[in-house]
Structure 1
């Protein structure tokens, strides 16, 4: 069925039934954005003062979708237009749906931003050269469309994100800057967190043994030395632990260090230990404390003599 009307002046507007390129023996139609129109359209366009190359605006009034295309031949049946299948998908058209065709004048493009659907398009050895070869079969680009690029028996779909200087541009005989956006399936790589986990090392027997992490460097771990060459003798202060103390019958603590009697008395205690006896053994404890004090006196005097004091105004010899 043929729907059509001709407008005066430089305007052309016609309504056709659309079908994909598989209905006609034109396999190269899918590699571009050109359509095949009936001969009557050429007769009408010949009487109009339109610009060449001829470009057209496609309307799907049912879904309010708009796209643009060029024309390849005028050999279709009357009332019929053949277009690439990917273009019908952009306009949400089915076989036999009505599409309105109108002539259009588009500015030459200066910039276009593309976004591949999948990341494998970037895995091609030279995607820029493939894209330039494919776009030679295109007449125009429209923002929001998805074009198809065929390479190595595989189809790649690319979205038109942005075009300048208008939402629809002509790419015939023009220098156009092309920019790429990250693919739709692109995911940011996750940075692994560094953990001090022991690594496994395989042995000759086939078993895996965890390898301990290497020890870290710790500075200033050496010992001190005297300037006169003598050994630095320092005795650790005596400390009283829970094992050295025992609760007496009157609630006081008694020493149970090695060398004491089985009854818990203070006799035989080592020097430097604190003794907490009962009231019955007060005299014995006092005597023991005096003996311990006398034993500590020469040791303390010896320590004070041996201890080196710096900056006292005295002269010391470095020789042993």
Structure 2
């Protein structure tokens, strides 16, 4: 008997507070036109002071339950992808497990920054196909506003808060997962980091301890140069061509970056699913939020071929080629 992993439900949650581009005109030297031209972002959601990553993760799962009326009482593993946990320990996943009352579920956080959700899906696939688990919640959630320096014009306009969740289950006859890849260029980690301590690292003094620090040009150059290769390698594993793709769901970092990646990869721009226009860069949550938006807009159909590619801090990446099974 085969053990196959199948995506059976998805959900999302974003905080109520909206911060639009005009709001940034009041705090840093920028403009709505400048932000939109360079990033494609119009607004982003900001968590309340007392709203944390575990809270929005939990609400994304509640949305999943409400949409699909699924029973999650027998979930046996929770994987929470985040770089903004409530605490160093306990994990966000443990808080979610407690909030949901899932007494028989394992719980762990993974931090692969913007690649976290795709890493989480690949881990869930491995756990289920190996027979270790049968029902896994994979959550990507961030409260990046809590580690954003709102005096830094180069980064503060980018980031927002949000959460997305997928339910991945054991199946005997249908799988969502076709091919995947993962890797990291750790020697380029200095281009995107967040440190709690002002230490010397990467051969240079760290800036703004506690906040996100990003060399936007460095990340852009790496992504545009490497993501097309990741796309090609993933498709080649399964003997698919870019023309076979129904949709491309990259990490929603920057619309101009995604357009360049599409052009270099030979993927039509209108096949790219993005969540940044209304939510900004939500790191590990961008891909599930993009998928959720596409479902709401009635773009996705059963059996659509979707390639997800997460990339970011590390600089880490992970891809997942799936067949949409919902």
Q: TM-score category by the smaller chain?
A: under 0.3
TM, length-normalised to structure 1: 0.20
TM, length-normalised to structure 2: 0.19
Structure with the larger RCO, 1 or 2 (CA within 8 Å, 6+ apart):
2
Q: Which has the larger radius of gyration?
A: 1
Which has more helix, going by share of residues?
Answer: 2
